[in-house]
């Protein structure tokens, strides 16, 4: 099954989920680069820091993608 054969609503939600995950990746990268709360230093000094960064990105990605899909659905134009 290709992307073009998926129903329109599924493609709409998948696109907005990817946007949410992209925002989450940028957000976590910013947190780690700016070392907010010492999180960047903790991740770089810990032996399992890479795993922690991946888990943090995944958790925030789920949240941001859900919010992005919710916003996208709420702002759909009504077809009355």
Cβ-contact 21, 70 below 8 angstroms: no
Rounded to two decimals, what is the model's pTM? 0.85
Long-range contacts of 26-33 (CB under 8 A, 24+ apart): 27/60, 27/64, 28/53, 28/56, 28/57, 28/60
- The backbone torsions φ and ψ at residue 65, rounded to the nearest 5 degrees and listed phi first, read -70, -35
Pair of tokens at residue 75: 């702002």
Cβ-contact 17, 68 below 8 angstroms: yes
Q: Does 80 reside within a domain?
A: no
Q: Does 20 reside within a domain?
A: yes
Q: Does 5 reside within a domain?
A: no
Look at residue 57 in the predicted model and tell me its pLDDT.
97
Using 50, 70 and 90 to split pLDDT, how confident is the model at 62? very high
Q: Does 37 reside within a domain?
A: yes
**For residue range 27-41, what is the model confidence (pLDDT) as tens digits?**
999 999 999 999 999
Look at residue 66 in the predicted model and tell me its pLDDT.
97
């Amino acid at each position: 099954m290709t992307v073009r054969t998926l129903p329109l609503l599924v493609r709409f939600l998948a696109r907005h989920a990817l946007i949410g995950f992209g925002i989450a990746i940028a957000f976590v990268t910013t947190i780690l680069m700016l070392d907010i709360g010492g999180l960047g230093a903790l991740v770089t000094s810990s032996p399992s820091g890479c795993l922690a960064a991946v888990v943090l990105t995944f958790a925030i990605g789920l949240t941001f993608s859900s919010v992005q899909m919710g916003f996208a659905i709420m702002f759909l134009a009504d077809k009355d």
